[in-house]
Amino acid sequence: MAIKQPVAPVWWEHDAHLLRFVCDLVAGELSLLRRSRVEPGLPWPGTLHIGRDLGADSLEVLSVATALSDMLHLHRSGIEDYLLARLEIEEWAAIARQSLRQFSAELTFRTSGSAGIPKRCTHPVSSLWQEVAVLAALLPGRRRILSAVPSHHIYGFLFTVLLPQAPGMQDLDVLDVRGSSAARLAHELRAGDLVVAHPEFWRAALQSQPLFAPGVIGVTSSAPCPDELAEALLAAGLDKLIQVYGSSETGGVGWRESAAAPFQAFPYWRRVAEDDAVLERTLLDGACARCAIQDTLEWVGTDTFRPAGRIDQAVQVAGINVFPAQVAAALREHPAVLDASVRLMRADEGNRLKAFIVPRAAHADRVMLQAQLAAWSRERFDSSQRPMAFSFGSQLPRQANEKLADWIIDATG
C-alpha cells in the first residue's frame, strides 16, 4: 500500500493536545514515584500548580521535569531549567512549545521499566508521522477520538496527538474517557467515533454495554487482545476493531481487523532473513534502519505475521510489560520464603500475576504467610507487578523434565 506523505503539522502548536500531553506525563511520572494514583484526577486545568495542588516536593519536581525534558529533548534549546521555576501546568506547556519551536526532530519514549530501569526509545518525529499516514488511511470518516490511553506513551501519542492533526482528519476533537465508567461510554458514542483503548478497557466496556452505537471503530494495542474478546466486541455492534502490534522500541509494526487473520506489516517494515529478532525499516528519506524486536514472529507471507511469544520472557498486565522472573526473585528476598515461581494467571483465573511459594518453615501458617506476602507486595511492587494470588507447597511445581510448570490457583498443597 503506497501512502502519500504530506507535510506534517507542528503538533505542539495545538493548545489542547500539548496541555493534555504535559498533564499525562506529569501524572504518569508522579504515579510511578509514589506508586499510587495522583489526585486530583485528570483532566487538569492549565492553572494547576505542580507543587501546591499536586503536593510535589522538590525531588519529585526535579524527577518529573527531567522526564519531560528527556522526552522532548529540551536540552537542545537550553531552557529546561525554567521548568524548576515555573510550576503551573500551562507554564510547562509554554516552555515545551518554546523549545519545540527550536528543536522537534526527535522524541524519546520510555518503556514501562518493569524489569528495573525504564528503557529510552528515541524516534525521529518523521517516522512517527510516517506511521500516522498509514493509520489515517485505515480510519477515514472519523469525527471524534475517545481516548482511554495516556498521550505521553507512544501508542497514545500516535493516536491522540498526531492522528487528530493528520491531513484529512479535520483536526479531530479528543475526549478523555479514562476517568469515566464504561457505562458513560455508551451514552457518549456516536457514529464516526474512534475509540482508542487497550484490552482491559474493552473488556470492561463489553460488560457494561451490550451494544455499541453504529459507525464506531475501535483500536486496541499495548497488550494482546484475546480472540474471544475481539469477536465479542464485533458481535456487540462495533463496526471494526483494529488491533495494532508494536512496542515503544519500534512503534507500530503491523495491524489486523480480524482475530483470525495474521497481522499485516506496515509497508515500511521488512523481515530480515538472516535474523528473526530484527526488522528493517525504510525511512522517509529512503535510508534503512534495523530495529530489534521483543517477540518471535511467525511469518505467514512476505508481509504478514503472527506474534509467537516474547523473546525476553515478559508478559503484559493491563498493557504494561512485567517480568515474572524479576518478581519471583524479589519474593525470594522475603525472610519467610525459601523459593518462589511467578506466572501470568490462566485465562479462567484472571489477568494478573500469581505466585507459588515454598515457605522456609515446613509447617508455616499459610493463611498468615499469605497476608504477610500480600502486604509486603503492596509496598514493594507496582500494581501491575503485584501477585494477586498465592499458592503454597513444599516444592515448586515442575514437569517431568524438571522445567517449571503451571499450577491451578487454590488447587495446590
142 and 250 belong to one structural domain: yes
Task: Assign residue 21 the CATH number of its domain.
Answer: 1.10.1200
260 and 112 belong to one structural domain: yes
235 and 282 belong to one structural domain: yes
95 and 155 belong to one structural domain: no
The 10s digit of each residue's pLDDT in 32-79 is: 899 788 999 899 999 999 999 999 999 999 999 999 999 999 999 999
Q: Are 179 and 150 in contact (CB under 8 A)?
A: no
291 and 333 belong to one structural domain: no
45: containing domain: 1-104
* pLDDT of the residue at 308: 83
78 and 115 belong to one structural domain: no
CA 211/CA 367 separation, integer angstroms: 43
181 and 249 belong to one structural domain: yes
Number of domains in the chain: 3
26 and 156 belong to one structural domain: no
278 and 174 belong to one structural domain: yes
The 10s digit of each residue's pLDDT in 283-321 is: 988 999 999 887 889 999 899 999 987 766 778 887 788
Asked whether residue 31 is domain-assigned, the answer is yes
Task: With a cut of 50, say whether residue 269 has pLDDT above it.
Answer: yes
What is the mean predicted confidence (pLDDT) over 260-279?
90
Task: Assign residue 258 the CATH number of its domain.
Answer: 3.40.50.12780
- Please, which residues have CB within 8 angstroms of residue 174's CB and are 6 or more apart in sequence? 16, 17, 20, 144, 145, 146, 147, 160, 164
Task: With a cut of 50, say whether residue 360 has pLDDT above it.
Answer: yes
92 and 156 belong to one structural domain: no
Asked whether residue 399 is domain-assigned, the answer is no
Task: Assign residue 334 the CATH number of its domain.
Answer: 3.30.300.30
Q: How confident is the model at residue 413 (pLDDT cuts 50, 70, 90)?
A: very low
* pLDDT of the residue at 112: 61
Give the chain's mean pLDDT: 89
Asked whether residue 408 is domain-assigned, the answer is no
* pLDDT of the residue at 115: 42
126 and 156 belong to one structural domain: yes
* pLDDT of the residue at 156: 96
Query: CA torsion sign, 35 to 36 to 39 to 42?
Result: positive
Q: How confident is the model at residue 408 (pLDDT cuts 50, 70, 90)?
A: confident
Asked whether residue 397 is domain-assigned, the answer is no
CA 20/CA 32 separation, integer angstroms: 18
What is the mean predicted confidence (pLDDT) over 141-170?
94
Q: Which of 311, 336, 357 is the last residue of a domain?
A: 311
The 10s digit of each residue's pLDDT in 93-114 is: 999 999 999 999 999 998 864 4
146 and 260 belong to one structural domain: yes
The 10s digit of each residue's pLDDT in 109-141 is: 988 644 445 789 999 999 999 999 999 999 999
Task: With a cut of 50, say whether residue 2 has pLDDT above it.
Answer: no
Percent pLDDT > 70 in the chain is 93
Q: Which of 104, 126, 142 is the last residue of a domain?
A: 104
